[in-house]
Structure 1
């Protein structure tokens, strides 16, 4: 294995993945709630590994060359971010008694609903595709063929460490979210983030 390429993969992946986006915010929120944390984290890790492999070994460049696919992904991603952002603001504005709270004061949610949302924030998230398929894949394409495996392995290593760290961070932050107002603040901030990302996707399409 090419050790230099491995550490390059770790470094590049760290720069791309650390920015708080829809997927990271969702994993952190699930960890704070203490709901289906293991399933959510594992789903994100495996999905990210698949996206990294697709990007490093050429699939991302193929998708990026198609204007139709790129625009379709942008519109789909913007729609997802708009719905997600408005739902976050709706939760922030609801009174506590209108929410379904379990015996520990946490928002209850089924396993399949949690995994469904995880699927959406991962596979319908345009920024996840952009980071792993286009940007990571573009950088990997500049490497020699024998170095790309090490590069991909480095990116996958960082991805695993990052999502595990998010799940642990949420548990540490959980005591701070024992009151309803802290959830309102978190949902309000997440909603603002999602809507700003939505506009960043729509602006090139509406204002060329």
Structure 2
């Protein structure tokens, strides 16, 4: 069943490679070399789990329960605005970065909680994995849909590992506070755009 597997990999990559809140967070943690493994595991395994649930048919339930997505949407807007504010504050205060490259190291708990919030408070995660991937997967029929789900899982886990650990190649560029200011400024803008789209453009 190599074809459904490859379709799953291609479909998964097409949905997760574009820059977004989750990718920006993983990239920043990768450059900082801070708790990278837990972050990439949370993101990759969550995508794999939700894609599998979507192929199993749970995506139809989510699609028909708009109130659930509404709750997640406004929770996501609030969190993204807070994260954008935090990134903007870092970008506007270079003296904080001078002290220790990217500021004080964060605890594993705080990084994991932030990663979980970015992952589960973004309604696009559910739409992309459970609804879209689920719909495409179910169109494959049995048993091909499970190979499709496996392909999606491989794409998600592989992508986040490449993004998280590949970001280390950028470490030299981010050796100065100015570089971190630029990155945090970009992250703040990305978070604000996504929050605005969630708030005013629906999902």
Please state which band the TM-score falls in when normalised by the shorter chain. Answer: over 0.9
Partner residue, 2:48: 49
- Runs (4+) of structure 1 exceeding 3 A deviation are 98-102
Match of 1:129 among 126, 131, 149: 126
Match of 1:181 among 163, 171, 178: 178
**TM-score, length of structure 1 as denominator length:** 0.90
TM-superposed deviation, 1:144: 0.6
Deviation string 1:39-91 (CA, Å, 9 cap, x unpaired) is 21122222221111122211122111112112222222222222211221111
Partner residue, 1:18: 17
CA contact (8 A) 1:80 1:125 kept: no
Match of 2:149 among 136, 149, 152: 152
Q: Secondary structure at the match of 1:145?
A: coil
For the aligned residues, what is the CA RMSD? 1.6
Could you tell me which runs of 5 or more consecutive residues in structure 2 were left unpaired when the two chains were aligned. none
TM-superposed deviation, 1:153: 0.3
Could you tell me which runs of 5 or more consecutive residues in structure 1 were left unpaired when the two chains were aligned. none
TM-superposed deviation, 1:101: 4.3
CA distance in 1 between counterparts of 2:163 and 2:177 reads 22
Residues 30-69 of structure 1 correspond to what in structure 2 (within 5 A)?
A: 30-69=29-68
CA distance in 1 between counterparts of 2:147 and 2:192 reads 36
Residue 198 (structure 1) aligned with residue 195 (structure 2): yes
Give the count of matched residue pairs: 201
Deviation string 1:135-160 (CA, Å, 9 cap, x unpaired) is 11121222213111100000111112
